[in-house]
Amino acid sequence: MAELQFREAIRDAMVEEMDRDETIFLMGEEVAEYDGAYKVSEGMLDRFGPKRVIDTPISENGFAGLGIGAALNGLRPIIEFMTFNFSFVAIDQIINNAAKIRYMSGGQFKIPIVFRGPNGAAGQLAATHNTSTESIYATLPGLKVIAPSNPDDAKGLLKTAIRDDDPVLFLESEVMYGMKGEVSEEKDYTLPIGKARIAREGDAVTIIGHSKSYWLALKTADMLKEEGYDAEVIDPRTIRPLDINTIVESVKKTNRCVIIDESNPFASISSEITYQIQERAFDHLDAPILRITAKDTPAPYAKNLIDYYMPSAEDAHKACRKVMYLD
């Protein structure tokens, strides 16, 4: 194992895949000469040259669509959004073209493309720069959505995403890019799309969290541990397709579930997981499923307000105690 930053793990995944397959190219704003807005693609222009590491104008609709066309015509593009907040000016490309062209062509064409970049809240950036996009994109058949929480998963899953023949949205996080973690040094390390990770085993309550929320789930489990309870922590890793089987098996064991999801609450990933659990394991539930999400408002700027807006381990801890009937 090697200790890498999240950004380095993503870079390694791209570099290894681009070494392996010449049809892969990286395109986005500031990915080449600037070395990446968040230094994810640092050094890649030098390594691969301007044919394969390509700066774009600020023109998301244009270059997202370009990537889709290139994928239709035999290439495997990696399109970087500086953040997924900016993907909204390209949303027609993602929703109507990436997700649907294969279907409407009766399966004649495939679109092996990865859209990647940071997603979700990243501090005092106010409302437009703090959107969690996963529930918006995960609602669309034709897309796959991945949201890893650590460098090892990021590397293994990104390599798989690049090799996947379907369009994948790979959601990272500005605030996680500097996070260090052990990454497998196994040659050609890949992880399967659609498999959750049981990060910690336990029987008291199932706590689910993806991306940054995973770390809140872990902190919540630590708080419970101090009180003598072993929570099971699950990181779904892939949002679509969701590994509901792993979640349901866990809930059947713990009979309780709390979901942490930093999206806005309405029609969020937590809503979907809750529905699927009650559909599959209603008789196993000893308490209603609770969720801790961002507030049902746009993200504010003021320090105290954004802190209040975001889900916290303290709130998740209270929710766990509630479903365990401790309070």
Partner 1 sequence: MASKTSKTKKTTKTQVNGTDDEPDLIRTEFEYRSFQSEHVDHRELELKDDQLLDMYRNMMLQRRFEERAAQMYGKQKIAGFLHLYIGQEAVSTGAANALNVGHDSVITAYRDHGIALALGMTSNECMAELFGKIDGCSRGKGGSMHFFSADKRLFGGHGIVGGHIPVGIGIAFAHKYKEDGGVCLCFFGDGAINQGSFHEAANLASLYRLPVVFVVENNQYAMGTAVHRASAETDLFKQASGYSMPGALADGMDVFDCYRAFTEHIALARENQPSLLEVRTYRYRGHSMSDPGKYRTKEELEERKDNDPIIRLKAYLLDKELTTNEALDDIDDDVKKEVLESVEFAENSEFPPLESIYEDVYVQEDYPYLGQSKN
Q: With binding defined as CB under 8 A, does residue 246 bind partner 1?
A: no
Distance between CA atoms of residues 164 and 195, nearest Å: 15
Say if CB 103 and CB 142 are below 8 A apart.
Answer: yes
CA 160 to each of CA 50, 140, 217, 286, 305: distance values in angstroms, whole numbers, following the listed order:
24, 20, 26, 38, 38
Q: Give yes or no for residue 107 binding partner 1 (CB under 8 A).
A: yes
- Tell me: does residue 96 bind partner 1 (CB under 8 A): yes
- Among positions 153, 164, 235, 262, the unique one binding partner 1 when judged by CB under 8 A: 164
Out of 109, 227, 267, 301, name the contact with partner 1 by CB under 8 A: 109
| CA gap 137, 67 in Å, rounded | 17
Comparison of 97 and 131: residue with beta carbon closer to partner 1: 97
Report the catalytic residues: 60, 129
Site for partner 1 in 183-202 (CB under 8 A): 194
Closest CB to partner 1 among 73 and 304? Answer: 73
Determine, following the binding rule CB under 8 A, whether residue 106 of this chain makes contact with partner 1. yes
What is the smallest separation between the CB atom of 157 and partner 1, expressed in angstroms?
15
Helices (H) and strands (E) in the chain, counts: 12, 14
Please count the CA atoms within 13 angstroms of the CA of 69 that sit on its side-chain side: 6
197 token code pair: 């990770």
Residue 300, CB-side half-sphere exposure with 13 Å CA sphere: 13
Residue from 4, 28, 32, 102 in contact with partner 1 (CB under 8 A): 102
If binding is defined by CB under 8 A, does position 13 make contact with partner 1?
Answer: no
Is 222 within 8 Å of 130 (Cβ atoms)? no
Tokens of 299: 């993200």
> Is residue 197 within 8 Å of residue 237, measured between CB atoms?
yes
Of 105, 182, 227, 326, the one binding partner 1 (CB under 8 A) is: 105
63 binds partner 1 (CB under 8 A): yes
**Binding flags for partner 1, 144-163, as an x/- string (CB under 8 A):** x-------------------
Exactly one of 166, 203, 222, 230 binds partner 1 (CB under 8 A); which one? 166
Q: Where are the alpha helices (DSSP H) in the chain?
A: 6-20, 44-48, 60-72, 91-92, 101-104, 134-138, 151-163, 212-226, 244-254, 269-281, 303-309, 313-323
Residue 278 within binding range of partner 1, rule CB under 8 A: no
Size of the site for partner 1 (CB under 8 A): 47
> In whole angstroms, how close is the CB of 165 to partner 1 at the nearest point?
4
Residues 199-238 that bind partner 1 (CB under 8 A): none
261 burial via Cβ count (<10 Å: 0-12, 13-18, 19+): buried
Site stretch for partner 1 (CB under 8 A), options 117-125, 138-146, 172-180, 298-306: 138-146
Q: Is 282 in the site for partner 1 (CB under 8 A)?
A: no
What are the angstrom distances between the C-alpha of 21 and each of 15, 70, 76, 113, 160? 10, 15, 9, 14, 13
Tell me, residue by residue from 67 to 86, as one string, x for binding to partner 1 by CB under 8 A and - for no binding: xxxxxxxxx-x---------
Q: Which of 5, 83, 93, 246 binds partner 1 (CB under 8 A)?
A: 93
Q: Which stretch binds partner 1 (CB under 8 A): 34-42, 64-72, 148-156, 261-269?
A: 64-72
Residue 20: both structure tokens together: 């392996």
List residues near partner 1 by CB under 8 A.
23, 25, 51, 54, 56-57, 59, 61-75, 77, 92-93, 96-97, 101-110, 112, 141-142, 144, 164-166, 194, 241, 276
